[in-house]
Structure 1
Amino acid sequence: MKKYVLITGASGGIGKATAIELAKKGWNLYLHYNQNTVAVKQLLNELTPYDVELIPIQADLSTDEGIEKLINNIFHINAICYVSGISHYGLFIDTPDEILNKMWKIHMYAPMKIIKELLPKLMRNSTSQIVLVSSIWGQTGASCEVAYSTVKGAQLAFVKAFSKEVARNGVRINAVAPGAVDTNMLAMFSQEEKLEIEEDIPIGRFASPNEVSNTISFLLSEKSSYITGQVLSVNGGWYT
């Protein structure tokens, strides 16, 4: 039987790596993106060698209309991988209300609403999986990333609580908490600042997007069939 997974934020570094990894495993893909049409077209080209169905969906998850658009374009589904996210660096007191609202909408309201509305379809399967990509800062918090840390921490609380409601319905939900990953999210830092961060990481380097997508793939597989409500840290020992 065909398996379908929704990947939100498929145009980003982790989303793209996840799409390629899951296509290799035979998953059919709903590929959500917002503005980065060029990146999605490139991803579709990279996925053509795999014999899977590719369904791109453009939607702005910071708006109610965008969230509804995405939900209404999902039909059969076996798994959700929520990768979408935005970051903001600066003192909390200087953070604009617009950013606070957008952070909450994209990182918490959107995944909760999407999962809530798609749950009946997930429960039609004998087993289904959900993975939220959170962050190391959701576990320990970061100065100058207070809003981001807060919504990422809220994701982890949601995973732990929701897992207890749906486990007997065959639905597993887990989170991945990456540390510093070599994606465009690090573009705000200078090369010198990046080197300083790497020196703080016990393994001595940033994670690659593939190292995160491999963890996601594991959580969507039968190899993790007895794992739910958990947070897997992919941070090179940066926070333990």
Structure 2
Amino acid sequence: MSRSVLVTGGNRGIGLAIARTFADGGDKVAVTYRSGQPPQELTDRGCLAVRCDITEPEQVEQAYKEIEDAHGKVEVLVANAGITRDQLLLRMSEEDWAEVLQTNLTGTFRVVKRAARGMLRARSGRIVLISSVVGLMGSAGQTNYAASKAALVGFARSVAREFASRAITCNVVAPGLVDTDMTRALPEERRAEILAQVPLARYAAPEEIAATVGFLTSEGGAYITGAVIPVDGGMSMGH
């Protein structure tokens, strides 16, 4: 049965691959984006693209109203939107710290809370938060990003406990090194340094992250909640 699916930050990279997977599976997919224009392939697949800055509560509320009018209450939420502002701790500004936490953590809180209204009434729903291997292992120069992504684990597990009695699951997917525009922009030396830490010795394709999200939101994933699933080629083993 076609479900109403929302993927935040679904206009590129991992989010786009996730949106594509749901749309190809027959779901009614909406994506949020903050800047630029969504790719034509989303329109071709019948996806609804909604401009929304998740750091602005009014924009989140307006986006949900638009999505609900078009597709009905959100039944599957993938909170993927996030930013980086990398810098060594002693050089990191208050603004760089606050912006990353505001988007990656508080923005996620905001979209999950809004989706929960309909899910609780329906007594069903699937929530997946996109974290990062950095949130599990830490990374020099990314204290703000790592803190925000690690915090999603505690947030998700608390949500999982709160909503379990209503048949709503909440899980975390923690990607490692993924072949996206963001990683391609890294200096070649840095890319090689990171890749050397990956036992499988390759980047993940965005579609591999999307496949894990697809499983968690399928019937096969109905008994999984509060889980953190690394998709990182073995990079975070032991965490």
Q: Could you state the TM-score of these two structures normalised by the residue count of structure 2? A: 0.92
Describe the superposition over 1:107-143 as per-residue Cα deviations: whole angstroms up to 9, x where unpaired. 1111112221221211233421000000011112111
Q: Which residue of 2 aligns with 1:50?
A: none
TM-superposed CA distance for 1:147, in Å, is: 0.4
Displacement of 1:69 after TM fit?
Answer: 2.7
Is contact 1:11-1:43 (8 Å) kept? Answer: no
The letter of the residue matching 1:57 is V
Q: Distance in 1 between matches of 2:89 and 2:18?
A: 32
Residue of 51, 66, 86 corresponding to 1:73: 66
Alignment of 1:203-222 (within 5 A): 203-222=200-219
- Does residue 1:42 correspond to 2:40, yes or no? yes
- Hey, what's the Cα distance between the residues in 2 that align with 1:184 and 1:41? 14
What's the CA shift for 1:55? Answer: 1.7
Q: 1:54 aligns with which of 23, 29, 47?
A: 47
What is aligned with 1:238?
235
Q: Within 1, Cα distance between the matches of 2:50 and 2:211?
A: 23
- 1-10 or 175-184: which moved more? 1-10
* Percent of aligned pairs sharing the same letter: 29
2:61 touches 2:114 (CA, 8 Å); kept in 1? Answer: no
User: Secondary structure of the equivalent of 2:203?
Assistant: coil
Q: Say whether the 8 Å CA contact 1:16–1:43 is kept in structure 2.
A: no
Amino acid at match of 2:55: S
**TM norm structure 1:** 0.91
Residues 118/45 of structure 1: CA separation in 2 closer, same or farther (3 Å cut):
closer
SS of equivalent residue, structure 2 residue 39:
helix
Distance 2:116 2:123 in 1: 13
**Which segment is superposed worse, 78-87 or 117-126?**
117-126
Q: Deviations over 1:44-99 (max 9, x none)?
A: 2452xxxxx52211011233333333233332221100110111221122122222
CA distance in 2, matches of 1:199, 1:140: 15
Alignment of 1:3-152 (within 5 A): 3-37=3-37, 40-47=38-45, 53-75=46-68, 76-152=73-149
Q: Which residue of 1 aligns with 2:224?
A: 227
Helix, strand or coil: the match of 1:73? helix
**Structure 1 stretches of 5 or more lacking a match?**
48-52
Corresponding position of 1:174: 171
Quote the RMSD (CA, aligned, Å).
1.6
Q: Which one of 157, 160, 185 corresponds to residue 157 of structure 2? A: 160
CA–CA separation in structure 2 for the residues paired with 1:41 and 1:234: 25
Shift of 1:106: 1.1
For the residues of structure 1 that align with 2:65 and 2:44, how far apart are their CA atoms? 26
Distance 1:31 1:69 in 2: 13
1:188: Cα distance to partner? Answer: 4.1
